[in-house]
A and B are shown apart, each in its own frame.
Chain A
Amino acid sequence: MSLDKIANKIVETDVLVVGGGIAGLPCAHKLAERGLNVVMAEKAKSDRSGSAGQGIDHYSGFMPEGMTPTQFKEIWDKMGPGAFFGGADFSPPTRLYRTMLGRKWASDELEKMGVPMKWDDGEYRVIDIKYHGGWKSLRVHWMNVKPIMAKACRKIGVNMMERTMITDLLTDGKRVVGATALNTRTGEFIVIKAKATVMATGAFARLYNPETAQPWKYKFRYHWCPASVSGDSWAMAYRAGAELGNMEQAERGYRFRDDLALSYGNVRGDGLESRRLCWDGTETRRAGSVELARQGMDPFYYSLEHLPEDYHKRIEVAYVDERLLSFKVAEERGFNPKTHRYEMMEHRPNQLNCPPGIVTDDNWKTNLEGLYAIGDTVAGNHNVAACAVTALLVGEHLPNVIGSIPDPKVDEAQVEAQKEVDMLPLKVKDGTEPMELECAIRYAVERYVGSFRSQGKLQEGLRRLSSLRKRFLDELQASNPHFQMRAIEIRNILDLTRLHMKACLERKETRGQFVRLDYPEKDPQYDNLVMNMCLKDGEDIIEWKKLPELDMNYKEERK
């Protein structure tokens, strides 16, 4: 059957950017600025979607320009990977160096898009994060960062396909030639042919249970990043044949109970660190740690009671910059940060972010021709500034190579098969609600993966997951395109959860936040190795790879 009979709409473009967040939007903008035809597909509406929808109060790891590879290595040797934010020890060092080097440049580029980088006095407001290895962050007023970026993209002529969920990638051998998509309002089935595709949907947070106020009904948390991402890019890239890395590494981060939130800037106290307390009021720098929890010192609390009045006002400004809703939530709970304390959630895995992601080379290109990944979607090294830098570097790089990429050749049979998958939930009667299956998956993750892993539990978890897939996936029902989107997300969540469990089974040691009860010691055979996973002939193949050395002669060329 011809493509125009299968699809409601066919779009042809030079580059497809999947995801309208703070990586996808600057990338799309830069590509359009350089003269390419660009489609940006966002499954919600880019103005207020995703982790940055309500704003951000910081631009992290702001470094002066001109840092040499030697200086970079000196910082690494002195302070360790923690000097460069989470996941740095899982990142190829030259690529990491490029993301650190590019922060000031990316900041200038964002300013050209209309994004405010400076403070009210017209200068950069630098927070000196003493305990974070000495690198600094910028405080920024980014409450409207998403609308500003979206507007800039529209103005420069990016084809903004809002409410358009990319459902899977289309391939021609080892080349990605575009994607299928679903309009989550009209239900249109769309084919997008693209010479190059850039994945930018962020990380993966929908596998462990968030500690929300009503966990029996509310699975989407709103505070801190990544808010409620379903790992769409990772799953699609994996199914197409790309490599995912570090899928066993789950982040245990600062989260608070009762839907209370502190923005990043608040947690760092706008430069003044918060107090962290055990249940009995003892202050400790180890609050939230597994070791203290095992000594019975939890629950743990965050306190801002010690802050001078001036800093309480700074917290308010940070609320406006990053999460206006926080005022309402706190007031409705009668919460007074001057006298009350934020209870921290249990120190347990809550998302896959930072180390895990799509594996790329030093130009953010995957092992598939025509497929790139940026921002939190990439394995190793994430944060706000890295989103901007990676986005803009790919935006600069792709126009130089697009001429050598052949026109995309789409296989109608592949499209037809994908359409059948995407449309199936609409045909199901008396089936399963997507959230019902998601709850079952999350329960399996909590019960059989959890904080402390072991072989028996992980094997049982994989068996459970396989049963859930066989029994319920094809019975997911959707009454409208919005729930079709939810059903497609479950497909992605299932794939990624399987990989997480298999990766946990593969790493037979305890290292950092990764704990195996049956292998409680660190095993030096895993030093400097990262775990990559790839789908080959329907099998999940695991390969350990050594991280490359830093290129000491690397020089960044800027146009």
Chain B
Amino acid sequence: MANYGHTSEAHYEDKFEFPLWKIIQEYAKKHDCSYVDASEAVLSDYVKTIKYDDEEFENKCVEIRHKELEAVSKEDEAKFGPRLKP
């Protein structure tokens, strides 16, 4: 798949907001504090929305990715030849 779109002008026209950054900025504005202080205040609640303790989910994601990487390594060898030895 070609990558042409990612260095185009549209890159700068999209408006993307990081959800956590938005929360931090809103907290800082509301409490008249620094972004650092706001980050400290909001981070633990945001962390609770993430599946950090779902081992089954994590292991599945890692396993899928690991298999993808193994396939990529094999394709690398076929496309670009053996890896240069250091």
Question: Measuring CB to CB, which residues of chain A are less than 8 angstroms from any residue of chain B?
Answer: 119-121, 125, 128, 130-131, 141, 143-144, 269, 271-273, 277, 279-286, 289, 291-292, 295, 301, 308, 310-311, 313-314, 316-317, 319-320, 324, 327-328, 330-331, 333-336, 338-341, 343, 511-513
Contact indicator A340/B50 (Cβ below 8 Å)? no
Whether A301 contacts B58 in the complex (CB less than 8 A), given A120-B44, A316-B19, A336-B16, comes out as no
Which chain A residues border B14 with CB–CB below 8 Å?
334, 336, 339
- Distance of B25 from chain A, by nearest CB (Å): 9
Contact indicator A317/B50 (Cβ below 8 Å)? yes
For chain B, residues 44 to 74, give those with C-beta under 8 angstroms from any C-beta of chain A.
44, 46-53, 57-58, 61-62, 65-66, 69, 72-73
- B30: interface (CB < 8 Å): no
Partner of A285, one of B11, B53, B69: B69
Partner of B79, one of A121, A282, A310: A282
Which chain A residues border B16 with CB–CB below 8 Å?
330-331, 334-336, 338
Contact indicator A316/B44 (Cβ below 8 Å)? no
Contact indicator B52/A119 (Cβ below 8 Å)? yes
Which chain A residues border B58 with CB–CB below 8 Å?
271
- B31: interface (CB < 8 Å): no
**How many residues belonging to B are interface residues under a CB distance threshold of 8 Å?**
47
- Distance of A99 from chain B, by nearest CB (Å): 23
Which chain A residues border B73 with CB–CB below 8 Å?
285
A310–B83 alpha-carbon span in the complex (Å)? 34
Contact indicator B69/A273 (Cβ below 8 Å)? yes
Which chain B residues border A313 with CB–CB below 8 Å?
19-20, 46, 49-50
Whether A285 contacts B72 in the complex (CB less than 8 A), given A272-B62, A331-B17, comes out as yes
Contact indicator A334/B80 (Cβ below 8 Å)? no
A286–B83 alpha-carbon span in the complex (Å)? 8
Which chain A residues border B51 with CB–CB below 8 Å?
310
Whether A324 contacts B2 in the complex (CB less than 8 A), given A286-B80, A313-B20, comes out as no
Which A-chain residue is minimally distant from B13 (CB atoms)? Answer: A334
For chain B, residues 24 to 55, give those with C-beta under 8 angstroms from any C-beta of chain A.
24, 35-36, 39-40, 43-44, 46-53
Partner of B52, one of A125, A284, A324, A512: A125
Which chain B residues border A343 with CB–CB below 8 Å?
7
Which chain B residues border A269 with CB–CB below 8 Å?
65
Partner of B35, one of A281, A292, A324: A324
Contact indicator B36/A280 (Cβ below 8 Å)? no
Of B48, B50, B57, chain A has the most CB atoms within 10 Å of the CB of B50
A286–B6 alpha-carbon span in the complex (Å)? 21
A314–B18 alpha-carbon span in the complex (Å)? 12
A144–B38 alpha-carbon span in the complex (Å)? 12
Which chain A residues border B83 with CB–CB below 8 Å?
286, 291
A282–B47 alpha-carbon span in the complex (Å)? 34
Contact indicator A284/B66 (Cβ below 8 Å)? no
A292–B79 alpha-carbon span in the complex (Å)? 11
Contact indicator B50/A295 (Cβ below 8 Å)? no
Partner of A340, one of B11, B49, B65, B76: B11
Contact indicator A327/B21 (Cβ below 8 Å)? yes
Which chain A residues border B84 with CB–CB below 8 Å?
289, 291
Contact indicator B72/A320 (Cβ below 8 Å)? no
A10–B40 alpha-carbon span in the complex (Å)? 40
Contact indicator B46/A121 (Cβ below 8 Å)? no
A120–B44 alpha-carbon span in the complex (Å)? 7
- Distance of A327 from chain B, by nearest CB (Å): 4
- Distance of B35 from chain A, by nearest CB (Å): 6
Of all A-B residue pairs in the complex, the 10 with the closest CB atoms, nearest first, are A336-B16, A327-B21, A316-B20, A281-B1, A512-B86, A334-B12, A281-B3, A341-B6, A320-B39, A120-B47
Known: A316-B20, A328-B21. 20 other contacts (CB 8 A): A119-B52, A121-B52, A144-B36, A269-B65, A273-B65, A281-B1, A285-B72, A289-B84, A291-B80, A291-B84, A301-B6, A313-B46, A313-B50, A316-B18, A319-B18, A319-B21, A320-B24, A327-B18, A334-B15, A341-B3
